[in-house]
Structure 1
Amino acid sequence: MSVLPSTSARTLQGPDERVLASDIRALRRARGLTLAEIALKLGRSVGWVSQVERGLSTPSVGDLRAFAELFGVPISLFFSHDVPVESERGVVVRAGRRRTLGTSESGLVEELLSPDLGGSFEMVRSIFAPGAEMKAAQLRPTEEAGYIASGIFEIEIEGVWHRLGEGDSFRFEGKPYRWRNPGTEPAVVIWVVSPPVY
């Protein structure tokens, strides 16, 4: 899990609360949880969780850590970058303002290309380090697709390995998968997931 800067260095305020509220609601729905279930797991009231999802209450850093642990996402996901032009909020993500997830030590760094998690899908730019791999297959209730922007990328879908290169793409739904980068250069994959899981 990512290390979070101190609250004095990084705070949520103003319009960012709308992004946070939308992301928390989308994550709860993607996991099929009710407000009551979230409240029980966090030791909070249903009313408080509802207010957070509507942008009426701002959770503390401790609360955000609890949300991140509950949803299985890095806490850095909840800290968006400022959008300098209000008309672009929720519509445009500039290259230098993407939310970054993961670390180079993990072998996978991802940048959220979608403005938030409130839509029916999310788009992520995934950078797989040479030799990085997902050792155990994962199964999610999602439809997923990817486009290899650069490098060599191998993905196993339902027990069958596929070796892909620049310009190749893939899609699968509700099947176990895992991946690896067998190359000597980073592999960059544009990944689309529906519904959003980050």
Structure 2
Amino acid sequence: MSDSLGARLREVRTARGLSLRSVAQALGVSASLLSQVEIGRTQPSVSTLFALAAHLGVSLDDLVGQGGAAVDASDAASPPPASPRPAATTVQRSHDYPVIEMENGVRWEKLAATADGPADALLVTYQPGASSSIEGKLMRHAGVEYAYLLEGELTLQLEFDTFTLGAGDSLSFDSMRPHMFSNVSDRPAKGVWFVFGRRAHNLAAPTAPGILVEPAVPASAVDVLRAMERMD
């Protein structure tokens, strides 16, 4: 998945006539890092992946969807519509979960959900030392997060508060609050995440230094999670 993700990022970027340097400058990362991502030698962090999708004006199903067609520059303003799906019960086998591997040991597996349902469901794994942002920057995005930790230990930094969660603990918070997840233990942390809803927020408001604000259009965190639906 990592190689195909990098290849699609490069394809979309070049189709839009953007240089590595200009994209890197807009995202506040190095051009060498983006180059390594594009050739599949490293994976983006959660925050970098959100920012890339938003800056390129593309959803993640365009980047990692199965058998997707090449992106043409003329399609930049109008992403292809989702295929219609019946509103029915969905059963998804564990070996068929769409997967995105991100930098530093973060893994997302999309769980079964009906099309246009109220929540995005994920099985999330943080390997020892993994973080949602290795840059150490808190992030925020539209939606409300609910999670239940199945195993291991995970640290949540939520604004100025820090919480350590163990197996059996749960959480919920408005994702517009600056936050970051990290695993400072010596064993993997795994949990089930649900992200509900899209709400209009003004992301242009001033923020404290060190807080990464995800662009509102076109890819909030909910956009990114929903985009995985057509990977089924």
Q: TM-score range by the shorter chain?
A: 0.5 to 0.7
186-195 vs 114-123, greater mean Cα deviation? 114-123
The match for 1:118 is 116
Write the letter of the residue equivalent to 1:151.
G
Whole-Å Cα distance in 2 between the matches of residues 116 and 102 of structure 1?
23
The TM-score normalised by the length of structure 1 is 0.57
Moved over 6 A (4+): 87-90
Residue pair 1:148, 1:166 contacting (<8 A) in 2 also? yes
Displacement of 1:79: 2.5
- For 2:161, the aligned partner's letter is V
Q: What SS is found at the alignment partner of 2:190?
A: strand
How far did residue 89 of structure 1 move? Answer: 7.5
Deviations 1:60-82 (CA, angstroms, capped at 9, x unpaired): xxxxxx97842464722x229xx
Closer, same or farther in 2 for the Cα pair 1:116/1:79, shift >3 Å?
Answer: farther
Taking a change above 3 Å as real, the CA distance of residues 93 and 140 of structure 1, as seen in their structure-2 partners, is same
Residues 73 and 127 of structure 1: CA distance in aligned 2, closer, same or farther (over 3 Å): same
Aligned residues: 133
Q: Is the 8 A contact 2:87 2:115 kept in 1?
A: no
Quick one: structure 1 residues 160 and 112, their matched pair in 2 at CA, closer, same or farther if it must change by over 3 Å? same
In structure 1, what is the Cα distance between the partners aligned to 2:161 and 2:182? 13
Instruction: Report the aligned-residue RMSD.
Output: 3.3
Q: Quickly say closer, same or farther: Cα 1:191–1:175, change in 2 above 3 A.
A: same
Q: How does 1:82-101 map to 2 (within 5 A)?
A: 91-101=90-100
TM-score norm. by structure 2 comes to 0.49
1:138 paired to 2:136: no
Instruction: Check the 8 A contact 1:113/1:125 in 2, yes or no.
Output: yes
Q: Deviations over 1:142-197 (max 9, x none)?
A: 10011111000000112211000000000001211101101111100211112333
Contact 1:150 1:167 in 2 (8 A): yes
Contact 1:89 1:115 in 2 (8 A): no
**Local SS of the residue matching 2:187:** coil
**Structure 1's 118 and 111: CA in aligned 2 closer, same or farther, altered over 3 A?**
same
Structure 2: which 5+ runs fail to align? 6-14, 18-51, 68-85, 198-221, 225-232
Judge conservation of contact 1:122–1:192 (CA < 8 Å) in 2: yes
Match of residue 57, structure 2, among 58, 65, 70: 70
Q: Return closer, same or farther for 1:42/1:194 CA change in 2, 3 Å cut-off.
A: farther
CA–CA distance in structure 2, aligned partners of residues 70 and 116 of structure 1: 25
User: Is the 2:92–2:112 contact (alpha carbons within 8 Å) kept by the matching residues of 1?
Assistant: yes
Secondary structure of the residue that 1:106 maps to in structure 2? coil
* Larger RCO of the pair (alpha carbons < 8 Å, separation 6+): 2
Is residue 165 of structure 2 the alignment partner of residue 164 of structure 1? yes
Shift in Å, 1:42: 7.0
Structure 1 92/177 Cα, relative in aligned 2: closer, same or farther at 3 Å? same
The runs of 5 or more residues in structure 1 that have no matched partner are: 6-40, 44-65, 81-86
